[in-house]
Structure 1
Amino acid sequence: MKDDSDVICPRCDAVLTTPDDRFSTWCAACDWNVDPIGPVGIPKDRARELARHERAFRRMAAHGPDASPSGAAVYGALVLATAVNLATAALVATGVWLLITGTLPQRILGAVELLATVMLFPRPARLPKHTVDRATAPALHAIVERISGELGTRPPDLIAFDARYGARWAAVGMRRHRVLVLGLPLWETLAPDQRIALLVRELAHAAAEAGPRSRWIRSALDSLAGWESLLRPDPARSDLVPDAHHAVTGGRQASNIAHVGEMLARPLLGLLAQGAQLLHALLRRLDGRCVGHAYRADRTAARIATAGSAESLLRALLLEEPALLALERLSRGGDDLWEMLRGYLASVPDTERARRLRLSELRGDTSGSGQPPTCLRIRFVQALPRTEPVLTMTGTEARTVDLELAPVRSSIGRECRQRP
């Protein structure tokens, strides 16, 4: 029975839950307004990607995350990666040979080839601003080392924090030191068992990426991404025309010739960049490492920190958008920023959490990264057995870690408040 205070779905006439003014009202029965600002329908490329992830999930559910990809896919990925890496090596070799033995024009060509190969690979990242070493945060590093010992992997050289909502790895400096970068907005809103699950997942994922096959394919992916970036025409220059009023006659002619040459070269460069992009997508699809690594990392997190902790971590990741929007709004206040953020996320209603999960099912949330959507990872963790945790963070350890991170917490909070 309906009364005057009920909210009715305009599409299917279902009675909706009393709305929360902070979030969108939507209908779980027909998905009305589930994505109020998104495009109508799902783009074809996103739909195909989601379908591939669904097929991969069914295979993984049937055979387990340790099952190897098909032989054709494995050999195809290795052959393609080898071809790309050999082409890059050949470019380096011919560049060096032309520099040593060539004429002046050939030496210039060799220098251009070497410069191109240098630009192909990502530059080593700078040391993050908010780092904590073993002397600064011994309790946090001790927990990470315990997890690394359980996994049989090397702990990170440094741990850093930033204002993002998530976690990532960075290779810092010429020696490429491994830095685990944790997003403070996520870390501050997690319970101790969820923090353990986060650390386990990131360390397990990094360990899976450290094998020689993974490094070989990663090198090829980096090369292809570099070629695409190098060859992609600059849209800012697409509308440039020679200045006829302020150029002398000779300069005008040279400018016209350069402009014509650019117009002729732009389609070819765009075609080559598109080819590099397609090869990058093909290699990632053939390899399929990211999918298996993600599920295995989630399984490891469930084993060490319990499946419930792993699942609640994944559900927390679905709240990235509202968390960052709330952080921006709350940073204008004068109270404890992180305490306010924790209170805000704790107050998010179940209807909004369900809407975020439904959005992950409809559109995915990691398009282009190779990672499976969070909704599928939640389904995977839900099917795992419930066991006792292998490692825990005691209350004393949690308080000690919070004290160690107090300067980082104050510094990042101050930066958030100073943003325009």
Structure 2
Amino acid sequence: MTDTCPTCAVPLAVEEDEPPWCPRCEWNLDALAPIEHSTWFYRQIRTRDHRAGFRADKLLATGTPVRPGGGHGLLVAVSAVLLAVPAAAVVAAIWLLVAGPVVIGLLLLLVAYLVRPRLGRVRTILKGLYRLDADRAPALHALIDRVAAATGAPRPDIVAVEPGLWGAWTTVAGIRQRRILTLGIPLVASVERGELVALLGHELGHFANRDSRRRMLTMPARVTFGHIASGLRPSRVSGMERDLLGLYLIVYEVWRLVSGMLSWLAFAVHATIHVSAARDDRRAEQEADRLAVRAAGRAATLGLLDATAAFPLFHGAISGVARKGYAMAEWRERVALSRARNESRTGTLRQLTIRTEASLFSSHPSTGRRHQFVSALPDTAPAVTVNDAEWATVVRELAPYAETLRKELAEQYEM
């Protein structure tokens, strides 16, 4: 293969073991690096999913976003039907427990329990996280309030920290539908103040756009068939290996065959639903990026996406090799040096994500496509700015959780 693009005649971009591509016209950017020791079937599925995801991301980045249409409505309808199943099972079970046969009534109660709607438990979601109340981090909460006001979003009910998370996420859980915002320490150590504002604008944008509510309406459709496929998955251990003989062996192997076919069928439905839902999720990410630009400005939002694309370069900077009590400060200094040293490489890494993150199953457009989308948005002055004193206080409030991560990383290194 030549070193220049056959279409543009410009030098090809090269990154590690990835196939080269043209940084101008994206020639060969949709090519995947081969995987050794993979089956033909897996390679075909992976290639087709990648190319379809590549095209879908490109349309989202270059076209005008449209409101979710029939796909979302269909998922809501499927969810409504699935919610009716446990309700009908409970009614029928109560009648059978009175009129008989009781055994069937008990089985229907079990079915209703297994397919019941799940709203998520706040206690379960917060397990392993550190809750950060306003009295412990007033500066961070004040910044979140300002970003919420700028984006028109309701403020989160709970702010939490996940020390080892290279990212951030939001969700709504429980009967009271409490809004939860979670920040990862490596991410905070890798971004500047305006980029953190953009991050908060994006995450709170999901609350402003009620994405969690939309997701909740489609949740039964998203997860039910996956649970069914998992529950029906046959054992890998054959009847011969279990020392079964005669009729027991025949029945066991027939059940393995039937349950395997049913499991694959349920998984196919689950995959189809997941692809449809992911399309809606990617549009939601675009709308959240719009609010990130409103809160922090276009330049800071683009900087956040560049930092995200360059995360692989920062992993060595976030380590247990840091002085006790100075982990956050030292990590931020190392990441800043890495970002400056690799500034010329950032664009290549960002464009590479267009290839590596393309999938119809992904809930996010690739980072590179998001960067293209944000670059085309009108530039506006940031609605929220952070001065030196505020930024120093926010970093100081999060520093104790960096120490928690430093200890964990140091223990892993010693092991």
Q: How does 1:123-134 map to 2 (within 5 A)?
A: 124-134=124-134
Determine whether 1:238 maps to 2:236: yes
What is the rounded CA distance, in whole Å, between the counterparts of 1:73 and 1:176 in structure 2? 24
What is the rounded CA distance, in whole Å, between the counterparts of 1:133 and 1:114 in structure 2? 38
1:68 corresponds in structure 2 to 67
Moved more, 116-125 or 97-106: 116-125
What is the rounded CA distance, in whole Å, between the counterparts of 1:97 and 1:36 in structure 2? 59
Q: Residue type matched to 1:376 in 2? A: R
Are the equivalent residues in 1 in contact too, given 2:302–2:374 (CA < 8 A)?
yes
What is the rounded CA distance, in whole Å, between the counterparts of 1:274 and 1:244 in structure 2? 27
How far has the Cα of 1:212 moved from its partner? 5.4
1:39 corresponds in structure 2 to 34
Moved more, 394-403 or 357-366: 357-366
Are the equivalent residues in 2 in contact too, given 1:305–1:391 (CA < 8 A)?
yes
How far has the Cα of 1:48 moved from its partner? 1.1
1:52 corresponds in structure 2 to 56
What is the rounded CA distance, in whole Å, between the counterparts of 2:76 and 2:385 in structure 1? 40
Are the equivalent residues in 1 in contact too, given 2:19–2:33 (CA < 8 A)?
no
**Distance change (3 Å), C-alpha of 1:282 and 1:85:** farther
Are the equivalent residues in 2 in contact too, given 1:200–1:301 (CA < 8 A)?
yes
Are the equivalent residues in 2 in contact too, given 1:127–1:172 (CA < 8 A)?
no
Determine whether 1:304 maps to 2:305: no
What is the rounded CA distance, in whole Å, between the counterparts of 1:271 and 1:170 in structure 2? 30
What is the rounded CA distance, in whole Å, between the counterparts of 1:355 and 1:97 in structure 2? 65
List per-residue Cα deviations over 1:108-137 (Å, max 9, x = no partner). 321331232148776642444322111110
Q: How does 1:305-320 map to 2 (within 5 A)?
A: 305-320=296-311
2:285 corresponds in structure 1 to 294
Q: Residue type matched to 1:39 in 2? A: P
Determine whether 1:259 maps to 2:263: no
Please give the TM-score of this superposition, normalised by the length of structure 1: 0.78
What is the rounded CA distance, in whole Å, between the counterparts of 1:166 and 1:400 in structure 2? 21
List per-residue Cα deviations over 1:154-174 (Å, max 9, x = no partner). 211222222111111245667
Unaligned segments of structure 2, at least 5 residues: 36-42
Aligned match for 1:103, one of 80, 101, 104: 101
- Structure 2 counterpart SS, 1:405: helix
**Distance change (3 Å), C-alpha of 1:215 and 1:27:** closer
**Distance change (3 Å), C-alpha of 1:200 and 1:29:** closer
How far has the Cα of 1:298 moved from its partner? 0.9
Q: Residue type matched to 1:206 in 2? A: F
Q: Residue type matched to 1:90 in 2? A: A
Unaligned segments of structure 1, at least 5 residues: 1-9, 246-250
Q: How does 1:194-233 map to 2 (within 5 A)?
A: 194-210=195-211, 213-231=214-232, 233=233
Are the equivalent residues in 1 in contact too, given 2:198–2:295 (CA < 8 A)?
yes
How far has the Cα of 1:51 moved from its partner? 1.4
Aligned match for 1:82, one of 73, 80, 83: 80
Please give the root-mean-square deviation of Cα atoms over the aligned residues, in Å.
3.8
Are the equivalent residues in 1 in contact too, given 2:87–2:112 (CA < 8 A)?
no
What is the rounded CA distance, in whole Å, between the counterparts of 1:105 and 1:95 in structure 2? 9
Are the equivalent residues in 1 in contact too, given 2:92–2:105 (CA < 8 A)?
no
What is the rounded CA distance, in whole Å, between the counterparts of 1:36 and 1:51 in structure 2? 12
Please give the TM-score of this superposition, normalised by the length of structure 2: 0.79
Q: How does 1:19-418 map to 2 (within 5 A)?
A: 29=22, 38-39=33-34, 43-60=47-64, 65=65, 67-70=66-69, 72-73=70-71, 75-99=73-97, 101-118=99-116, 124-162=124-162, 163-171=164-172, 177-210=178-211, 213-231=214-232, 233=233, 237-241=235-239, 256=249, 259-281=252-274, 283-284=276-277, 288-324=279-315, 326=316, 330-332=319-321, 336-338=326-328, 339-340=330-331, 341-343=334-336, 345-364=338-357, 368-418=361-411
Q: Residue type matched to 1:227 in 2? A: I
**Distance change (3 Å), C-alpha of 1:284 and 1:346:** same
Identity of aligned residues (%): 22
Provide the aligned length of Structure 1 versus Structure 2.
391
Moved more, 117-126 or 403-412: 117-126
